[in-house]
Amino acid sequence: MKITFIIPDMSWLYDYKAQFSLGLLYISTILKEKGVEVSFYDTNENDLKDIPKADVYGFSVVFNTYDNCVDLARQVKELRPRSKIIVGGVHATLNQYDIDPIFESVFIGEAENTIVKFVEDFETGEFSEYYIDDKPVDLSNLIPDRKLISDDYIRTGSIFTGDQQFDDHGSTAIMFTRGCPYKCTFCASPRVYNRQIRFRDVASIEKEIKGIIKDYGIRQFRIQDDTFTIKQDYLKELCDMMKPLNIFYRCSTRVNHVTEENIKNLYDSGCREIGIGIEVANDEALKQLKKQITVKQCEEAIRIIKKFDITLRCFFMIGTPYDTEQTMQDNIDFIERNDIDGITCANFIPFPGTEMYDKMEDHNISLVKKNTCMNIAKHIEFTPNIIRDDISEKDHLQIMKVFYNYIDKRGFIK
Ligand code: B12
Ligand code: SF4
């Protein structure tokens, strides 16, 4: 059996190759173990009509890539009518009842187990419409085989703010956990992982990191986890393992898991950049987003992190139904009074399957626009993605612009 995963348009990202989907690598690793021939076809660089023949074409979808994937899937079906087209990923999982029939099999949730069932079904020719993960995947010995894709999707340049480099051999992405126990109303994670977090064995992570150093000479890592800093004893064990490896990494943490002890452990084991999700520097708006943090906690976390030689990036989100002129000004004041090295600002999209999408009316949203503004970047026209009950789109945009103009002036928008 031959399966080709198709990489859709990701031109809105600065460097889409920089973080190739680990999810696809994980399932490709299992497929290879089962004797399947796996390849990737990148439509950002190649014309779809030149796609090599395969028995199965696969797409990994998030909300933002879904429409393009449907388009591509239709074109592939015309070119290769006898091939099977399958889909998986976060958006397929969350929006499972509204997936275009061009996708003949839809994978719901983690797919390391279900993809094996699919391979078995390929032998008989009897496929299911849905492949649903009915038990969590055993993470103990799961290591993605990076050799399945060419070096330039694995090895990227600097992952640190200001293009800092701590080593000359590039960087790569890695994950230590899956899931998150929190319930932020704008995030897909609570539905994808049912608010359960699972931790990989530290020994398996050590094997993966040592393998990357040996095979690629890479010593800089982007740790992609949602909340791996959540469990103190796990974090300690992990950091103790990483300390002697002479690596450098960036990661994210929730501010309520920032303690001096945690940050010291992170720093000593090579952490040189931390991202924290502030979202909005206003307690009432944070409460509405169910972020379960306060502005005071954010400032305390910043104070602790800045005791170390660690670059600090703060993530903000505008375009929500809770934006007011006051919250925009609160964001600005927050940035002015804290020692922050980098800002990333997201434009809120209510993803299907999140609380804010499912309970739109409770969150003051009357409509989610069809063509979404996926990112805040100079090359993308900036608009809110929702129509609010209380104010016009024009007024909402005016409010968002207060913060947008400020971060633009500060040089935080590329
Ligand atoms: C790391 C990460 C990134 C990285 C890497 C993205 C990537 N390509 O993997 C970067 C920074 C590039 C990124 C970018 C974006 N991201 Co992001 N990202 C994540 C994060 C934190 C982890 C993803 C991950 O690696 N998970 C671990 C792997 C093992 O899981 P997985 O990818 O879901 O794959 C498993 C299954 O889904 C399934 N599967 C996946 N694909 C397929 C395909 C087939 C055929 C099959 C059979 C199975 C299958 O099998 C895999 C193994 O079990 C998630 C949050 C989360 N925890 O999921 C957000 C998340 C996926 N991102 C999100 C978004 C919105 C984006 C952006 C659109 C942001 C933007 N505005 O630019 C872009 C889109 C880029 C893209 N095309 O993917 C949203 C998606 C929401 C949604 N409903 O779709 C999430 C859920 C966060 C959130 N806000 O809720 N992201
Ligand atoms: S935003 Fe972060 S903390 Fe909140 S549910 Fe999502 S992954 Fe968890």
Of 132, 164, 186, the domain-final residue: 132
Distance CA 6, CA 59 (A): 6
pLDDT band at 393 (very low <50, low <70, confident <90, very high): very high
Q: Which ligand is nearest to the CA of 179?
A: 1
What CATH number is given to the structural domain containing 78?
3.40.50.280
CATH number of the domain at 224, please: 3.20.20.70
Query: Ligand 1, atom 28: nearest CA belongs to which residue?
Result: 23
Ligand at minimal distance from the CA of 111 is 1
Q: Are residues 10 and 116 in the same domain?
A: yes
Is 21 within the bounds of a domain? yes
* Same-domain pairing of 115 and 189: no
Atom of ligand 2 nearest to the CA of 190: 5
Q: Is 174 a domain residue?
A: yes
Confidence grade of residue 314 (pLDDT, cut at 50, 70, 90): very high
* Among 9, 59, 62, 221, residue to substitute to test ligand 1 (most atoms within 8 Å of Cβ): 62
First to last CA, the chain: 43
- Asked whether the predicted pLDDT for residue 87 surpasses 90, the reply is yes
Phi, psi angle pair for 59, to nearest 5°: -125, 140
Say yes or no: CB of residue 317 within 6 Å of ligand 1.
no
Co-location of 237 and 113 in the same domain = no
Mark whether 40 and 108 lie in a shared domain.
Answer: yes
Q: What is the pLDDT of residue 11?
A: 77
Domain-ending residue, one of 99, 132, 165: 132
Domain-located, residue 176: yes
Mean pLDDT of 217-243: 96
CA 395 to centroid of chain Cα atoms: 30
Best substitution site from 13, 36, 90, 108 to test ligand 1's pocket, by max atoms within 8 Å of Cβ?
90
pLDDT in tens, 359-379: 999 999 999 998 888 888 888
- At 86 the pLDDT is 98
Give residue 78 CA to ligand 2 midpoint distance, Å: 40
Q: List pLDDT tens digits, range 136-177.
A: 999 998 999 999 999 999 998 889 999 999 999 999 999 999
Nearest ligand to the C-alpha atom of residue 192: 1
The reply to whether ligand 1 has any atom less than 6 angstroms from the CB of 375 is: yes
Q: Both 100 and 178 in a single domain?
A: no
**How far is it, in rounded angstroms, from Cα 286 to Cα 187?**
13
Residue type, 410: R
| Separation of CA 389 and ligand 1 centre (Å) | 30
User: Do residues 172 and 25 share a domain?
Assistant: no
What pLDDT band is residue 82 in, cutting at 50, 70 and 90?
very high
Whether 67 and 178 share a structural domain: no
Atom of ligand 1 nearest to the CA of 112: 53
Is the minimum distance from the CB of 26 to ligand 1 under 6 angstroms?
yes
**Inter-residue long-range contacts of 194-199, CB under 8 Å, 24+ positions, other chains counted:** 196/136, 197/226, 197/227, 197/230, 198/136, 198/139, 199/139, 199/228, 199/231, 199/234
Q: How far is the CA of 159 from the centre of ligand 2 (A)?
A: 22
Decide if 128 is inside a domain. yes
In a domain, 141, yes or no: no
Domain count, the chain: 2
Q: For residue 169, what are the CA distances in angstroms to 148, 152, 219?
A: 19, 12, 7
Task: Looking at the CA of residue 188, tell me the nearest atom of ligand 2.
Answer: 6
Token digits for 138? 């055993």
pLDDT reported for residue 157: 85
Whole-number Å distance, alpha carbon 214 to ligand 1 midpoint, is: 27
Residue 234 lies in a domain: yes
In the reported structure, the alpha carbon of residue 224 is separated from the centroid of ligand 1 by a whole-number distance in angstroms of 10
Whole-number Å distance, alpha carbon 290 to ligand 2 midpoint, is: 10
In a domain, 115, yes or no: yes
Q: Are residues 124 and 159 in the same domain?
A: no
Based on the fold, state whether residues 166 and 46 are members of the same structural domain.
Answer: no
* pTM for the whole structure: 0.95
Q: Which residues pair with 190 in a beta bridge?
A: none
What pLDDT is recorded for position 371?
Answer: 83
- Any atom of ligand 1 within 6 Å of the Cβ of 30: no
Q: How far is the CA of 388 from the centre of ligand 1 (A)?
A: 27
pLDDT for position 372: 84
pLDDT tens readout for residues 32-48: 999 999 999 999 999 99
Same-domain check for residues 293 and 164: yes
- According to DSSP, the residues that pair with 75 across neighbouring strands are none
- Give the number of residues written for the chain: 414
pLDDT of residue 259 exceeding 80:
yes
Mutate to test the pocket of ligand 2, among 187, 276, 287 (most ligand atoms within 8 A of CB): 187
| Domain contains 148 | no
> Which pair of structure tokens corresponds to residue 225?
């986890």
- Ligand 2, residue 291: give the atom nearest the CA: 4
Percent of the chain's residues with pLDDT above 90: 90
Claim to verify: residue 93 and residue 220 sit in the same structural domain: no
Residues 322-345: what's their mean pLDDT? 97
Q: Please state, rounded to an integer, the average pLDDT across all residues of the chain.
A: 95
Residue corresponding to tokens 């990227």: 156
Closest ligand by atom to 276 CA = 2
How far apart CA 322 and CA 270 sit, in angstroms, is 37
> How far, in Å, is the centroid of ligand 2 from the Cα of 329?
24
Rounded to 5 degrees, φ, ψ at 348 are -55, 130
Same-domain pairing of 121 and 160? no
Where in the sequence is the domain holding 300, given as residue range(s)? 155-409
Q: How many CB atoms lie within 10 A of CB 95?
A: 17
- Which pLDDT score, from 0 to 100, does residue 226 have? 83
CA of 120 to the centre of ligand 1 (A): 26
